[in-house]
Amino acid sequence: MNKNPFFIKNENIYLSDILKILGKKKQKNDLKINDISDLKLATKNDISFFNSPKYLDILKTSKAKYVISSDKYSSKINKYCEPIIVKNVLKSVYLITELFYPNSLDDAVDFSLESPDIKKFNKIKFGKNVLLGKNVKIGVNSIIGHNTIIESNVRIGSDCIIGNNTLLKNTIIGNSVRILDGSVIGKKGFGFFPNKDKNFRYPHIGMVLIKDNVEIGCNNTIDRGSLSNTVIGKNTFIDNQVHIAHNVNIGENCVITGQVGFAGSSKIGDNVLIGGQAGISGHLTIGNNVNIGGGSGVIKNLPDNSKVMGYPAKDIRSFLKENK
């Protein structure tokens, strides 16, 4: 889904505008830039960024023509794109994101909330004290629990159950999804630039996409994506008190038990089982059919069909042998 309904984009951004806020000299060829995007999703008219050699293979196939990067990577990437060299890549991405999406940091409270119009939602069952923002769409035969807030432009499919005291924002939900009580879904991720006097918050312009037949337990927190989206795959079931950070992509038919934590930008395959209180570090790839034991700390990529446990997580047979 390319069209983001939650943030207003400035449609008239040119390369000269970007170079100006970065303190760079103008180039002869000024052209219109469509958007800022990650390397994988960028089109030829988007600008992107490169800040780690682990993404070199993605850069090689990326369509992005202009890429923000630092001097130490210039020689590695200049054959694949036109690098714009800066001292601080992430701060530059923050400035460009705010240029494209000037309201992206102003979504703390949706003041358009009102009680649902029963005539408009005549096939929906609402609890008491429910509030909806503008342009909310809810499919037929869905149930919305007491004291729940659904902010502007959120979309919910048919046959869904949204529990009590739940907050939904910047989220698109499929059919037959169940979200239990007390969950907060679609808030900004934990992204900022530390500074002695004032920390600078990073704009998060992604969404949360929840596919069909997902169950999300009580008191889950699921952050929206920064540039890309946070995705929960079809038929995945998530237990209580799980935290899913920005840009995490969880595959289909996964089972995730209580108090698991996912750091940002991790990619989880299909049919993955994760035991309680396990932690997944950021920017990792977990393959299909992986089993991760409870209390494990995963700090490196795991191939398909792995079974691991412990900290750092290792092959489960080795772990059990060492801990007889």
Tens-digit pLDDT string for the chain (324 aa): 446 889 989 999 999 999 999 998 877 778 899 999 999 989 999 999 999 888 899 999 999 999 999 999 998 898 999 999 999 898 899 999 999 998 888 888 999 999 999 889 989 999 999 999 999 999 999 999 999 999 999 999 999 999 999 999 999 999 999 999 999 999 999 988 787 888 888 889 999 999 999 999 999 999 999 989 999 999 999 999 999 999 999 999 999 999 999 999 999 999 999 999 999 999 999 999 999 999 999 999 999 999 999 999 999 888 888 887
Domain borders along the chain are: 13-100, 125-322
Q: Which among 266, 246, 249 has a CA at the least distance from the CA of 104?
A: 246
Spatial separation of the C-alpha atoms in residues 23 and 271, rounded to whole Å: 47
Domains 13-100 and 125-322 belong to one CATH topology: no
Architecture of domain 13-100: 3-Layer(aba) Sandwich (3.40)
- Find the angle CA(20)-CA(24)-CA(26) to the nearest 5 degrees: 75
- Select which of 204, 243, 246, 283 is catalytic: 246
For the record, the structure tokens of 142 come out as 């869905």
Rounded Cα distance between 1 and 142, Å, is 23
CA distance 233 to 224: 15
d(CA 208, CA 245): 10
Q: What's the CATH class of domain 125-322?
A: mainly beta
Instruction: Check if the beta carbon of residue 285 is closer than 8 Å to that of residue 303.
Output: no
146 catalytic? Reply is no
- pLDDT for 105: 83
